[in-house]
Amino acid sequence: MHIFDTHCHPHLNKIKETEDTIRKFFEYGWTYMTIIWTDIEKSKIAVDLANRYDWVFASIGIHPCDIDWLDIDKTINKLKNMYMDNKEKIVAIWECWLDYYWMKRNENTNKLSESDRIRKIDEQKYEQKRFFIAQIELAKDLDLPVIIHNRDSRDDVFRILQETDFKNFIFHCYSEDLEYANRLIEFSPNCKISFSGIVTFKNASDIQETAKVIPIKHILAETDSPYLTPVPFRWKEENEALYTKYVIEKISELRWVDCSEEIFQNSLEIFNIDSISRIKV
């Protein structure tokens, strides 16, 4: 069985050691993982780890909650230079998203008057969109896919994809409904939709329906570890890349057929990796 955890954050585990979780993944015979970090300095750590392991790849980018005080042009240039120095290990621009969830819950913002709060949120949305678009343009320039996560921002995400005519993307940790997935697929016939441990949860009927119905060629699997631990380990321990197996098994159960090899091949395709762990250049 080939397994590719397309999205994990092993450095964020609070109990399990980063490199222990990476080694365990491969000791069980699983195949590849893509490590996701959150800012310039941590992206360098991801690349360093990827360079130490033949079967580990990295994605680089800027989290929308980390853009304060950043110069957009200098930041994009740093990311581009990082890619040029590590072409064989960097497979995507991470994790470009619009995070309206956290800005609405920001303690400092919520202390403002209502009018000032609305103005502040609008300013933050504007900046997030600028960085989102800038990273899409970088991905176009480097011919890399973009890993997208939206939170309370699905319409703006889709609008930006349309306006930039950008179709080389992964919608990670999918948490929307079937209708939205169909919109994405209609817009981008080769896009990928990645399911995390959420698909194993009892209360995830919309996500399960999507995993069951959309064409298999669009499906990826991930852990988003250490978050979203799948059943049977939910609430019992931190998530780790090893548990991608349970996500794939749940998708296979929903579709009444073993989907592991198709999901693995989809992962190689979107990251432009061949079967012997070399990026196609």
Q: What CATH number should be reported for the domain holding residue 130?
A: 3.20.20.140
Q: What is the pLDDT of residue 180?
A: 97
The CA distance from 272 to 112, in Å, is 47
Q: What is the pLDDT of residue 100?
A: 65
Q: What is the pLDDT of residue 68?
A: 66
Long-range pairs, 236-240, Cβ under 8 A, ≥24: 237/15, 238/13, 238/14, 238/15, 238/16, 239/197, 240/8, 240/10, 240/13, 240/16, 240/21, 240/24, 240/25
pTM of the shown model: 0.91
In a domain, 280, yes or no: no
Q: What is the pLDDT of residue 280?
A: 46
Written as six digits, the tokens of 200 are 């194993």
In a domain, 277, yes or no: no
In a domain, 124, yes or no: yes
In a domain, 106, yes or no: yes
Long-range pairs, 202-205, Cβ under 8 A, ≥24: 202/231
Written as six digits, the tokens of 148 are 């997208």
pLDDT per residue as tens, the chain (281 positions)? 899 999 999 988 999 999 999 999 999 989 999 998 767 777 788 898 899 998 999 999 887 666 666 788 888 999 999 999 999 999 999 866 667 666 666 656 666 778 877 787 788 888 888 888 999 999 999 999 999 988 777 899 999 999 999 999 999 999 999 999 999 999 999 999 999 999 999 999 999 999 999 999 999 999 999 999 999 999 999 999 999 999 999 999 999 999 999 999 999 999 999 854 554 44
Maximum CA extent, the chain = 57
Provide the number of structural domains found in the chain: 1
Q: What is the pLDDT of residue 276?
A: 47
Q: Which domain holds residue 219?
A: 4-271
In a domain, 279, yes or no: no
In Å, what is the CA distance from 53 to each residue of 25, 202, 216, 275?
Answer: 12, 36, 29, 16
Report the phi/psi class of residue 90: left, alpha or beta, with left for phi > 0 and alpha for psi in -120 to 50: beta
In a domain, 242, yes or no: yes
**Is-contact 22 10, C-beta < 8 A?**
yes
In a domain, 130, yes or no: yes
In a domain, 119, yes or no: yes
Of 239, 264, 242, the C-alpha closest to 251 is 264
